[in-house]
Structure 1
Amino acid sequence: MTTPAIQSPRSPVATGSRARRRSNVELNTWLFMRGSGVLLLVLVFGHLFVNLMVGKGVEALDFAFVAGKWANPFWQVWDLAMLWLAELHGMNGLRTIINDYATKPTTRFWLKALLYFSAFIVLVLGTLVIFTFDPCADPASTLEVCRSH
């Protein structure tokens, strides 16, 4: 009596031309998580160092500090990169959790649709705040940045 061969559980299910056409979306998202995690470490620790260690420390964090910082395009791009990477990194992590734990396809679809929608809203609003921030919108503003206008 011969025992039938059992496929390895890690072997691909699809065979033939269909198996060759599969995309590497999961591999790319896995690589993105590693790369964005490393970049986020640099961005966040740089952000904390500049905001908390340089100058007067925590006491100096106020509206005028942010206004002065965002008057420089370098810090706008720095904060924008931190916002986008953190949001996409977190969204990808939640997408993975939804794929792992949502058992019904319709539940998975709606949870991911809500996730993508909320991530889009946060990215759009955050980007608008960074690039349209006007510290001189208040005519009574006494900020140094506004006096030079």
Structure 2
Amino acid sequence: MAATTEFVPPRSGRIDAKYTRVPGAKGNFEMIAWLFMRISGVFLVVLIFGHLITNLLVGDGINGLDFGFVAGKWADPFWQFWDLAMLWLAMLHGTNGVRTIINDYADKDRTRFWLKGILYFATIVIITLGTLVIFTFDPCIPGSPLEICN
């Protein structure tokens, strides 16, 4: 028994002009975005595995993860920038992927505009808050009984 499949054309049956490359056009944004996804993906693998190894395998493992562990880790600028790079690359990588999905599946220009607007707003908020947390983290809460704060 041989199974046959029938060719199903794309939804619209045509290629939208906004997605075709015009000879001589100067816009390379999609190619740069595609390249960014590949390069950031490689860096993210290194950053994430370094993060997991440092937090889960070195020292006391998962039992050693607590407020003091994070405070000690973020006291070193190396780990602040490591976590910052991981945050920024992960957010930008994910945002670029979701932007591509929105471009592929949102049919109306207005829908695409609002979805991408919400996406970009959420990305900016999360990157800003995450960066502030990393660089303004202070383990010494006023009135805290911790010995390192006295």
Q: 1:13 to 1:26 in 2, by over 3 A?
A: closer
Query: Residue in 2 aligned with 1:100?
Result: 104
Structure 1 residue ranges (4+ consecutive) displaced by more than 2 angstroms after TM superposition: none
Check if 1:26 corresponds to 2:27: no
Check if 1:64 corresponds to 2:101: no
Query: Residue in 1 aligned with 2:123?
Result: 119
In 2, distance between residues paired with 1:140 and 1:38?
41
Q: Match of 2:90, SS? A: helix
The one-letter code of the counterpart of 1:37 is G
The one-letter code of the counterpart of 1:54 is V
Query: Residue in 1 aligned with 2:113?
Result: 109
Aligned residue-pair number? 132
Deviations 1:50-100 (A, max 9, x none): 000100100000000000000000000000000000000000000000000
Check if 1:140 corresponds to 2:144: yes
In 1, distance between residues paired with 2:21 and 2:89?
34
Query: Residue in 2 aligned with 1:4?
Result: none
The one-letter code of the counterpart of 1:100 is D
Q: CA deviation at 1:143?
A: 5.0
Query: Residue in 1 aligned with 2:9?
Result: none
Query: Residue in 2 aligned with 1:49?
Result: 53
TM-score w.r.t. length of structure 2: 0.84
The one-letter code of the counterpart of 2:59 is G
The one-letter code of the counterpart of 1:70 is W
- Structure 1 unaligned residues grouped into runs of 5+: 1-8
Deviations 1:14-61 (A, max 9, x none): 3xxxx3233110000000000000000000000000000100100000
Query: Residue in 1 aligned with 2:88?
Result: 84
Q: 1:143 to 1:90 in 2, by over 3 A?
A: farther
Identity of aligned residues (%): 61
TM-score w.r.t. length of structure 1: 0.84
Q: Match of 1:20, SS? A: coil
TM-align CA RMSD: 1.4
